[in-house]
Structure 1
Amino acid sequence: MSFSQTLRRDWLSNIRGDILSGVVVALALIPEAIGFSIIAGVDPKVGLYASVVIAVVISFAGGRPAMISAATAATAVLFGSLVREHGLQYLLAATILAGVIQIILGWLRIGAVMRFVSRSVMTGFVNALAILIFMAQLPELIGVTWQTYVMIAAGLAVIYLFPRLTRAVPSPLVCILVLTAIALVFGVDTRTVADLGALPNALPMLLLPEVPLNFETLQIIFPTSVAVAAVGLLESLLTANIVDQMTDTRSDKNRESVGQGIANIVSGLFGGMGGCAMIGQSVINVKSGGRTRLSTFVAGAFLLFLLLVLGEWVGLIPMPALVAIMIMVSVGTFSWSSLRDLAHHPRRSSMVMLATVFTVVGTHNLALGVGVGVLLSGIFFAWKVAQIFRVSSVLSEDGKARDYMVEGQLFFASAEEFLEAFDFTETLEQVRLDLTRAHIWDLTGVNAVDKVVLKFRKAGVEVEVLGLNDASATIMDKLAMHDRPDAMEKVLGH
């Protein structure tokens, strides 16, 4: 594909929709970035600068067009203890190192691990994020004036009803404009963006973190950097999958990994904290019409314009407008069909989905929740495969030989059943172990075959292993020990 074709596809194929959606996202990023800065224990400008820089850089370097990346809660919570113990400069250094780690992981093609995330884990991840997005709005819903509830209701009405009139302008943008106008004209008593913290009024400066360049500094920041890199990539790649499904397009996960690393490095150099992809803002972007890299670039560039030029006006935006948008995102993100599917989907799939949801919501740790889901998926899959396993046998007419036929997958979960299928006390002269319909997967499977062969040999029985397929023969040739001189002692332990 030529440069002009790539430029049009990635940047110029949806100009109007991308610009409008980018404007909406920029407005929605402000309270999020300020809130995440507070979580990390730093000045609001650290989160705002990070959101500007990461969004702009990822629009060029990322592998998923229309996905929004900025400062996030998932990474902010990881910086808290580092900031408390060592200060802001170490946060910036940790952000840069996290970016370097992500680039290395991208070069190692870490995106391929997404194939191990099952549909049930993805659904649980999406549902948990929807719940967390709604829970994040609770401070703006509890202990507030009655006018706030009216404003939120009005905002939701605009968001859901305005598209019936026209889709030329994103309804979330109309919501912000209408509610801001109402608040200013009628003097509505409600919180505004300015109440969250002071907005920066100057461009971020390119500076190296003021930390000693020695091994001690590396020891301090490395654990945080690894955590930020891992959590950031996990959330980014899962969000990329979601946007892939929403837009019916594909993304380059490895390029996204490298892009996230570059964005974090630049963020740290410009005084920003680490970040990653944002499911809420990405959904806002797509639902508002964003489809290309231009929408992500506009989100970052317009956010900078808002902060530097329209800071006073942005501060007047009532929080109910942004809360209404995030409630819309929460409702739209949650997979409501998954509740109906609980009744007829396989019970284990439902358990994986629910475990992912409860872990993420309970710990506010996306990586831990997905890790639990993937672990359960692996356990259930291994258990299921192990059930499709059998060993049968036939005794020869003269009673001196027995043929054992193995069917299924021989690995750690089926090895015990395999061993229990043999009678080592039977008086025989020969045993033939037929593995034509079996497949050996791991060291445990190889070791099980070793034990069977050596136990029969110890009893004076001749053993012949037959029917190994190419893959099983390869792993047996590499790892099996039953033909080695010291095999009896090593495998049987005496």
Structure 2
Amino acid sequence: MRFARYRAQWSENPAREVLAGMVGTFALIPEVIAFSYVAGVPPAVSLFASFVISVCIALFGGRPGMISGAAGSVALIVAPLVHSHGIQYMLAATLLAGALQIVFGLCKLHVAMRFVSREVKTGFVNALAILIFSAQLPQMLGVDWHTYLLIALGLIIIYLLPRVMSVIPSPLVCIVVLTAIVAFHPMPVAQVADLGELPTGLPSLVWPSVPWNWDTLLTVAPYALAMAVVGLLESLMTAEVVQDATDSRTSPRMECTGQGISNIAVGLFGGIAGCGMVGQTVGNLRYGGVGRLSTFTAGAFLLILMVLLHDYVAMVPMAALVATMIMVSISTFDWRSLKGLVVAPKLSSLVMVATVVVTILTKDLAAGVAIGVLLSGIIFAWQAMKQVRITHQRDGDSDVYVITGQLFFASSDMLREAIDLRTDARRVVIDIRHAVVHDITMVSALDDIVARLQRHDVVVEVRGTSTLNHAMLDRYANSDVFDIKE
């Protein structure tokens, strides 16, 4: 059954998949070359890495239709290592990052994605759309009017052509038409060749030329760990975008191990580690690339362009790629979230906005997601704390406290404030049968309250101790009252 599903992911509508993958290739080129300068490596290192990653992830990944390549988040992490120790240490870090990702996949650490709320995911996507658009601004500032004319023409082709013909993706037509215009009517516009020297040969197997000892391991390990975590985070977030867009299931575990295998292959071919790329993936999905063939094509076509069509790729005007990436940016942004800012709860909107703002300011998707997850956790704790109810009534010579809700570190002070430790009652009943105690902070708080009351010769009864975690009680509670079995 699994093999039949895997085979179907390669064979369904091959013409559409190939054309969509070609769109993904052209969307890769400008960003990958730009990221190579961020990392401090030649463009060939990032371009070959994107080829290897796309081909490998098509074979071993868990999310068909997702485009992977040398991403900016990973480039930011590895840049200090390249500047301080050189490319060879980067290759060693890439190999180790791939191995760690395989371990993460085998250990099922992808479950951490369950802690990423919908607001954070929306902020992630919107921030990426803004970053994609802002990355095009250098190509639109301080340029001749010819560039603006070509960008406008490119956008017209991209958005109007599908109304007439949808067999060939309009971004491909845009690139071909604008390249032909510049070829037959030269004009002062930037071309792909101006981005840097493009590779002309095939990638070859290499082995990092570093001393294989503890010093090297200690040098590359922190970078490898960061690359592995950030790469998986961005890949799994991208996979979520594909899953939502296609109403299909994702195999996070397979995606983790697939990314690991891909990055090991990248390191062996002299490339920089990579991960899933949301913008390119959205472009791929927009034109029907939902299978593994489109992902494979994005990488294979990139190699063909670099090796066989090198001279033609160098002639492509940047205006064509800018128009394509503007389309990708507009498609990526969740425009419905703007309405949500008005109608959604303010705290939920705060999480989304904070994710966007931090991501844009740091240009680091992982930082934005981390802040969003942290805020989501704080807000959840705040909301759970507000649901705690403590009622008190006097029953003869007894004080009875009935507690309901989620009891954890954030609500421990509420309990201390609610229970009168200087009571004149001879007996205090603390009823937690309708509450849930989650952590040692609350167990310690209960234990402290009981101990203080007992020091004033008050008899204390805690009802509901059978629902507590007795391992926590044995370790953190000292009062005999917790030995009550109900």
Indicate yes or no: 2:456 matched with 1:459.
Answer: yes
Aligned residue in 2 for 1:434? 431
Deviation at residue 429 of structure 1 after TM alignment: 2.4
Within 5 A, what are the aligned runs for 1:76-475?
A: 76-397=75-396, 400-468=397-465, 470=467, 472-474=468-470
Q: Contact 1:172–1:288 at 8 Å: present in 2 too?
A: no
Q: Contact 1:182–1:188 at 8 Å: present in 2 too?
A: no
Q: For each residue in 1:167-209, what CA deviation from the matched residue of structure 2 results, as whole angstroms up to 9, or x when unmatched?
A: 1111111111111111112223211111111211111111110
Q: Secondary structure at the match of 1:42?
A: coil
Q: Contact 1:54–1:69 at 8 Å: present in 2 too?
A: yes
What is the Cα-based RMSD across aligned positions, in Å?
1.5
Q: Secondary structure at the match of 2:343?
A: coil
Tell me the amino acid that sits aligned with residue 338 of structure 1: S
Tell me the amino acid that sits aligned with residue 12 of structure 1: S
Q: Distance in 1 between matches of 2:429 and 2:8?
A: 62
Deviation at residue 249 of structure 1 after TM alignment: 0.9
Q: Distance in 2 between matches of 1:175 and 1:361?
A: 29
Deviation at residue 28 of structure 1 after TM alignment: 2.2
Q: Distance in 2 between matches of 1:478 and 1:288?
A: 60
Deviation at residue 284 of structure 1 after TM alignment: 0.8
Aligned residue in 2 for 1:492? none
Q: Runs of 4 or more off by more than 3 Å in structure 1?
A: 473-480
Q: For each residue in 1:412-440, what CA deviation from the matched residue of structure 2 results, as whole angstroms up to 9, or x when unmatched?
A: 11110111111121223222211111110
Q: Secondary structure at the match of 1:414?
A: helix
Tell me the amino acid that sits aligned with residue 36 of structure 1: F
Q: Distance in 2 between matches of 1:79 and 1:326?
A: 25
Q: Contact 2:451–2:479 at 8 Å: present in 1 too?
A: no
Q: For each residue in 1:323-363, what CA deviation from the matched residue of structure 2 results, as whole angstroms up to 9, or x when unmatched?
A: 00100011111111211221121010111111111100001
Q: Secondary structure at the match of 1:413?
A: helix
Q: For each residue in 1:345-389, what CA deviation from the matched residue of structure 2 results, as whole angstroms up to 9, or x when unmatched?
A: 101011111111110000111111111111011101101110111
Q: Secondary structure at the match of 1:169?
A: coil
Q: Distance in 2 between matches of 1:426 and 1:33?
A: 70
Tell me the amino acid that sits aligned with residue 81 of structure 1: P
Q: Distance in 1 between matches of 2:471 and 2:127?
A: 41
Q: Contact 1:352–1:376 at 8 Å: present in 2 too?
A: yes
Tell me the amino acid that sits aligned with residue 424 of structure 1: L
Q: Contact 1:439–1:469 at 8 Å: present in 2 too?
A: no
Q: For each residue in 1:250-282, what CA deviation from the matched residue of structure 2 results, as whole angstroms up to 9, or x when unmatched?
A: 101121111111111110110101111101110
Distance 1:77 1:121, change over 3 A: same
Q: For each residue in 1:41-85, what CA deviation from the matched residue of structure 2 results, as whole angstroms up to 9, or x when unmatched?
A: 111110011000010001111111000111011111112211111
Distance 1:276 1:421, change over 3 A: same
Q: Distance in 2 between matches of 1:334 and 1:2?
A: 34
Q: Distance in 1 between matches of 2:206 and 2:217?
A: 19
Q: Distance in 2 between matches of 1:82 and 1:466?
A: 58
Q: Secondary structure at the match of 1:231?
A: helix
Q: Contact 1:61–1:255 at 8 Å: present in 2 too?
A: yes
Alignment: residue pair count: 482
Q: Distance in 1 between matches of 2:31 and 2:181?
A: 23
Q: For each residue in 1:117-165, what CA deviation from the matched residue of structure 2 results, as whole angstroms up to 9, or x when unmatched?
A: 1111111111100010011111100011100000000000001001101
**Which range moved further: 151-160 or 247-256?**
247-256
Q: Contact 2:267–2:273 at 8 Å: present in 1 too?
A: yes
Q: Secondary structure at the match of 1:409?
A: strand
Q: For each residue in 1:68-116, what CA deviation from the matched residue of structure 2 results, as whole angstroms up to 9, or x when unmatched?
A: 1110111111122111111111111111111111111111212111111
Q: Distance in 2 between matches of 1:265 and 1:21?
A: 27
- Output the TM-score relative to the length of structure 2: 0.96
Q: For each residue in 1:447-478, what CA deviation from the matched residue of structure 2 results, as whole angstroms up to 9, or x when unmatched?
A: 111011111111111211112463x2445544
Q: Distance in 2 between matches of 1:75 and 1:47?
A: 11
Distance 1:110 1:166, change over 3 A: same
Aligned residue in 1 for 2:39? 40
Q: Distance in 2 between matches of 1:252 and 1:484?
A: 49
- Output the TM-score relative to the length of structure 1: 0.95
Q: Contact 1:137–1:323 at 8 Å: present in 2 too?
A: yes
Tell me the amino acid that sits aligned with residue 375 of structure 1: L
Aligned residue in 2 for 1:490? none
Aligned residue in 2 for 1:491? none
Indicate yes or no: 2:477 matched with 1:481.
Answer: yes
Tell me the amino acid that sits aligned with residue 450 of structure 1: D
Q: Distance in 2 between matches of 1:469 and 1:281?
A: 54
